[in-house]
């Protein structure tokens, strides 16, 4: 049997590179509580991404929860059903109610034309996901938020390196969050970050550090969301490779598009004026039946794509059902093909030959 191809593959530097950076923490014995490596990673990420305020955290879900708590959100939060469960679960976990709005059939992000109709007297915020690194219609969402005095949080878990109109996508909204999970484009093994406007930084920082004001006093309520030095060391060694990784992934996607061109498969549409990061390669089939046939064929041949995002969040058993028909239809027919920087031309030809 030919070699196994998974939907993604974690980029790993040499162990020597990782150990050389980690040794700095080892020599001091400072493994957590915002050591020198976490602080250095934050500074380098600011420079690389073009952002002003960042708080590195131990995973990508806690930043969403801290954003909801820190902004004092109550009642209803308008959100998308086409996302990973962490987005929706964070809303429920913080005792708010998700109100689902259907997605745009082309860009797959929340349909901004349907948001206003979902706003009620109980609405406190919009929590939208930049799907597969594709930006939402941030200008229209901002207009709506200002009109109704709502906060805006972007789940930008897939968006490391994405720009919109020449600016980091993390600079839009009141808060943006990102995942640094091992399956992501940039990773710290496990980790994440919160990006925010300056007016919110101090409060979010306190929330992620137990609410501490020095070692013997407290500003207020907080939890432990701090990134460790072990995680930061991984980020510091991965970051210098990011341009090379994205270039390789771009070549892989270009070959996918060439091989699948002319077929009945609908490929991903990036919003105008966005600079994408090549984080995922989703394709949409004409029917659920066709998707399942292709998925089975690939798996028989030791190739493992992934149905991101199926099922939609409005079908979760602990939530009330909604009528987001476009999202449900898309989620049944969309499949993310294997994508990572080590895929070869022969790998792509092997995968696509089993699809078309």
Per residue in 314-348, pLDDT tens? 999 989 888 899 999 999 999 999 999 999 999 99
pLDDT at position 33 is: 92
* pLDDT recorded at residue 219: 82
Q: What is the chain's mean pLDDT, rounded?
A: 96
Share of the chain above pLDDT 70, in %: 100
Measured CA to CA, the distance from residue 178 to residue 160 in angstroms comes to: 7
Task: Examine the pLDDT at 202 and tell me if it is beyond 80.
Answer: yes
| CA distance to 170, 232, 250, 304, per residue, from 197 (Å) | 10, 23, 31, 40
Share of the chain above pLDDT 90, in %: 94
Question: Domains (ranges, CATH) in the chain?
Answer: 5-9+241-353 (3.90.1150.10), 15-240 (3.40.640.10)
Bond from prior residue into 311 cis (ω within 30 degrees of 0)? yes
**Residue 79 pLDDT exceeds 90:** yes
Q: What pLDDT is stored for residue 321 in this prediction?
A: 81
**Phi-psi bin for 29: left (phi > 0), alpha (psi -120 to 50), beta?**
left
Q: 118, 76, 122: which is closest to 95 by C-alpha? A: 76
Instruction: Write the pLDDT tens digit of every residue in 271-321.
Output: 999 999 999 999 999 999 999 999 999 999 999 999 999 999 999 998 988
**Taken in order 326, 328, 334, 340, is the CA torsion positive or negative?**
positive
Res. 35 pLDDT band, cuts 50 70 90: very high
Mean pLDDT of 345-353: 97
Residue 214 has pLDDT above 80, yes or no: no
Q: pTM for the whole thing? A: 0.96
Q: Note the pLDDT of residue 258.
A: 97
* Mean pLDDT value of segment 265-272: 95
CA distance 26 to 241: 24
């Amino acid at each position: 049997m030919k070699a196994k191809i998974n939907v993604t593959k974690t980029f790993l530097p040499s162990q020597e590179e990782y150990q050389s950076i980690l040794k700095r923490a080892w020599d001091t014995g400072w493994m957590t509580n915002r050591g020198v490596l976490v602080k250095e990673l934050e500074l380098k990420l600011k420079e690389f991404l073009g952002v002003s305020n960042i708080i590195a955290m131990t995973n990508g879900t806690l930043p969403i929860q801290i954003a909801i708590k820190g902004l004092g959100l109550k009642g209803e939060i308008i959100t998308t059903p086409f996302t990973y469960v962490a987005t929706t679960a964070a809303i429920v976990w913080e005792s708010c109610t998700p109100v689902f709005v259907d997605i745009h059939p082309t860009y797959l992000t929340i349909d901004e034309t349907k948001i206003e109709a979902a706003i009620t007297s109980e609405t406190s915020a919009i929590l939208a996901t930049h799907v597969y690194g594709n930006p939402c219609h941030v200008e229209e969402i901002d207009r709506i938020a200002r009109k109704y005095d709502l906060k805006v949080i972007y789940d930008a878990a897939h968006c490391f390196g994405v720009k919109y109109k020449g600016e980091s996508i993390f600079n839009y909204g009141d808060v943006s969050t990102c995942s640094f999970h091992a399956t992501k484009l940039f990773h710290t093994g496990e980790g994440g970050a919160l990006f925010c406007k300056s007016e919110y930084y101090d409060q979010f920082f306190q929330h992620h550090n137990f609410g501490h004001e020095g070692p013997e006093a407290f500003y207020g309520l907080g939890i432990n969301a701090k990134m460790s030095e072990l995680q930061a060391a991984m980020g510091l060694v991965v970051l210098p490779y990011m341009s090379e990784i994205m270039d390789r992934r771009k070549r892989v996607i270009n070959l996918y598009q060439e091989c699948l061109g002319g077929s009945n498969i609908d490929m991903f549409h990036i919003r105008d004026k966005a600079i994408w990061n090549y984080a995922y390669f989703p394709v949409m089939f004409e029917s659920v039946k066709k998707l399942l046939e292709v998925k089975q064929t690939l798996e028989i041949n030791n190739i493992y794509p992934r149905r991101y995002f199926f099922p939609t969040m409005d079908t979760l058993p602990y939530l009330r059902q909604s009528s987001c028909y476009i999202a449900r239809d898309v989620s049944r027919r969309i499949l993310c093909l294997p994508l990572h920087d080590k895929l070869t031309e022969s790998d792509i030809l092997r995968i696509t030959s089993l699809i078309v």
